[in-house]
């Protein structure tokens, strides 16, 4: 078998160890990796349905995550309910613009970018234009997605040190649960999506389309 | 310049599948210092470079030690009118649990303690076996586990969150960094360099040979 004929077959790599395996057809059932025994499908199973479901749930929970307060801070009798946005504004008003920018990027921009970016990729799957842009958007989602965890860690640090009785207390609020839900849902949505689909559909459409038609 | 197709055996298939777009390319034998790129999307398929086993083993062992110290030592101390409280990695998890936010606590525990431990511990075990050529038990499952743990290892995000927490607490009272924070940063650097240098293909081939 020359490399050229081998390269024209249906190959897919193991999601865990990346060893390539040959499939008889793209619709062939899943097999087990000969090296690490992980399950391999030619494309991740039901990727579009699973990602869509997770993105839609994420969009729904994004609303309470931003409206409800994530924590209550009490310092020497003064109580303050903070939403995600409130936390950014407070840092900005205190003259800590760079820190405010980090929180704004990680907690507001990144989750929104993940949800809207994935929605766009899912809706535009059968478009032949903008493949490279969508691919870059997916790379960005994959790279920056983890940074939305900043606010959850921040909460865990503040809650840990905010146990000083009447002097200072920090209490978590339900907004934090919705924020975590959005975070986990988008992380799974990114993981369960198969980025090769961005390249598959337009190619299939080009193969089916008869010559001479626009 | 790439020079012709590589040796193909059952354990070394004749093709490379692009991780980015799924395009299939022939596997080439690469001269030292060169790389093979996907013809469709341009993503790097393979890179010929020195063995990653010994530097990555050093990083994994260092990461385990730094991780242990980061877990034991206090990270920062917060002081309001003489009353003070220190923060460790685990105290946030306990406080969140105590306040009834178990789900948030589990997420923090998973991403800042369990996943880094599994990532560094699993890799130290597997790379140690490769380095000393010992067919230790459970190599493939542990390498697989460390791959998935790497996705949930968010220790670099924790380091940034500590900076934000410092700024925020400074508005409320007096806050001071403690030595543990230095080990969180050291852990973050180990994690970053390990992701950069680890060549999973090479490690998997070594593991396959050992078994």
Digit-coded pLDDT (tens) for B100-154: 999 999 999 999 999 999 999 999 999 999 999 988 999 999 999 999 999 999 9
Let me know if B84 is exposed, middle or buried by CB neighbors in 10 A (0-12, 13-18, 19+). middle
* Cβ contact, residue pair B41, A167, below 8 Å: no
Contact partners, residue B10, CB within 8 Å, separation at least 6: none
* Cβ contact, residue pair B143, A36, below 8 Å: yes
User: H/E/C letters for each residue in B61-77?
Assistant: HHHHHHHHHHHHCCCEE
pLDDT value at residue B47: 80
Q: Does B192 touch chain A (CB under 8 A)?
A: no
* Cβ contact, residue pair A159, B95, below 8 Å: yes
Q: Indicate if the pLDDT at residue B6 is higher than 60.
A: no
Residues of B in contact with A176 (CB under 8 A): 101, 104
Q: What is the mean pLDDT of chain B?
A: 88
For B111, which of A149, A157, A199 is closest by C-beta distance? Answer: A149
- Provide the residue-wise pLDDT of chain A in tens; the chain has 214 residues: 444 445 567 889 898 888 888 888 888 889 999 888 889 999 998 999 999 999 999 999 999 999 999 999 888 778 889 999 999 999 999 999 999 999 999 999 999 999 999 999 999 998 888 899 999 999 999 999 999 999 999 999 999 988 877 778 899 999 999 999 999 999 999 999 999 999 887 777 666 655 444 4
DSSP states along A148-164: GGHHHHHHHHHHHH-EE
pLDDT value at residue B1: 35
Residues of A in contact with B88 (CB under 8 A): 160
Q: Indicate if the pLDDT at residue B193 is higher than 80.
A: yes
Which residue is associated with the tokens 């089916």? A208
DSSP state of B52: -
Q: Does B35 touch chain A (CB under 8 A)?
A: no
pLDDT value at residue A212: 46
* Cβ contact, residue pair B168, A158, below 8 Å: yes
CA distance to B119, B132, B172, B173, per residue, from A183 (Å): 21, 41, 28, 30
Helix (H) or strand (E) holding B184: helix B179-197
Residues of B in contact with A33 (CB under 8 A): none
Tokens read off for A127: 């478009």
Digit-coded pLDDT (tens) for B23-46: 888 888 888 778 888 988 888 888
Q: Does B162 touch chain A (CB under 8 A)?
A: yes
Q: Measuring CA to CA, which residue among B116, B110, B118, B70 is closest to residue B93?
A: B110
* Cβ contact, residue pair A154, B5, below 8 Å: no
Nearest CA of chain B to the CA of A59: how many Å? 19
pLDDT value at residue A7: 52
Q: Does A99 touch chain B (CB under 8 A)?
A: yes
Q: Does A157 touch chain B (CB under 8 A)?
A: yes
* Cβ contact, residue pair B80, A76, below 8 Å: yes
Contact partners, residue A46, CB within 8 Å, separation at least 6: none
The backbone torsions φ and ψ at residue B35, rounded to the nearest 5 degrees and listed phi first, read -135, 160
3-class DSSP state of B102: helix
Model confidence band, residue B11 (pLDDT cutoffs 50, 70, 90): low
3-class DSSP state of B46: strand
Model confidence band, residue B160 (pLDDT cutoffs 50, 70, 90): very high
Q: Does B107 touch chain A (CB under 8 A)?
A: yes
Q: Tell me, what's the ipTM?
A: 0.87
Q: Measuring CA to CA, which residue among B59, B97, B90, B95 is closest to residue B75?
A: B90
Query: B58 near B47, Cβ under 8 Å?
Result: no
pLDDT value at residue A118: 97
Q: Does A198 touch chain B (CB under 8 A)?
A: yes
Global pTM? 0.87
């Amino acid at each position: 078998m020359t490399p050229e004929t081998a390269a024209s077959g249906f190959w897919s790599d193991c999601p865990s160890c990346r060893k390539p395996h040959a499939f008889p057809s793209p619709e062939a059932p899943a097999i087990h990796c000969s090296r690490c025994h992980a399950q391999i499908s030619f494309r991740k199973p039901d990727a579009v349905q699973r990602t869509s479901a997770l993105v839609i749930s994420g969009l729904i929970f994004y609303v309470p995550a931003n409206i409800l307060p994530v924590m209550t801070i009490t310092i020497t009798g003064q109580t303050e309910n903070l939403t995600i946005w409130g936390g950014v504004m407070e840092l900005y008003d205190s003259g800590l613009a760079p820190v405010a920018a980090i929180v704004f990027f990680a907690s507001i921009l990144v989750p929104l970018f993940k949800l809207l970016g994935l929605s766009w990729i899912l809706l535009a799957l059968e478009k032949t234009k903008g493949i490279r842009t969508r691919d870059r958007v997916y790379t960005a989602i994959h790279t920056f997605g983890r940074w939305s965890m900043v606010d959850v860690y921040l909460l865990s640090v503040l809650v840990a040190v905010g146990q000083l009785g009447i002097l200072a207390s920090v209490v978590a609020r339900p907004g934090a649960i919705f924020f975590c839900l959005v975070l986990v849902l988008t992380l799974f949505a990114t993981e369960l999506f198969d980025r090769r689909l961005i390249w598959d559909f337009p190619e299939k459409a080009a193969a089916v389309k008869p010559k001479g038609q626009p | 310049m790439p020079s012709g197709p590589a040796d193909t055996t059952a354990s070394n298939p004749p093709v490379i599948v692009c991780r980015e777009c799924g395009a299939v390319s022939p596997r080439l034998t690469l001269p030292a210092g060169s790389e093979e790129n996907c013809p469709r999307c341009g993503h790097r398929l393979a890179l010929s470079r020195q063995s990653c086993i010994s530097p990555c083993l050093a990083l994994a062992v260092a990461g385990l030690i730094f991780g242990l110290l980061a877990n034991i030592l206090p990270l920062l101390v917060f002081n309001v009118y003489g009353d003070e409280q220190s923060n460790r990695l685990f105290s946030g998890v306990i406080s969140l649990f105590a306040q009834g936010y178990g789900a948030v606590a589990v997420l923090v525990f998973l991403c800042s303690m369990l996943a880094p431990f599994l990532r560094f511990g699993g890799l130290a075990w597997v790379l140690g076996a490769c380095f000393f050529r010992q067919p230790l038990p459970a190599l493939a499952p542990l390498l697989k586990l460390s791959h998935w743990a790497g996705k949930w290892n968010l220790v670099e995000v924790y380091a940034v969150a500590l900076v934000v927490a410092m700024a925020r607490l400074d508005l409320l009272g007096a806050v001071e960094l403690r030595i543990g924070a230095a080990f969180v940063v050291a852990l973050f650097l180990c994690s970053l360099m390990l992701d950069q240098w680890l060549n999973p293909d090479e490690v998997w081939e070594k593991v396959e040979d050992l078994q």
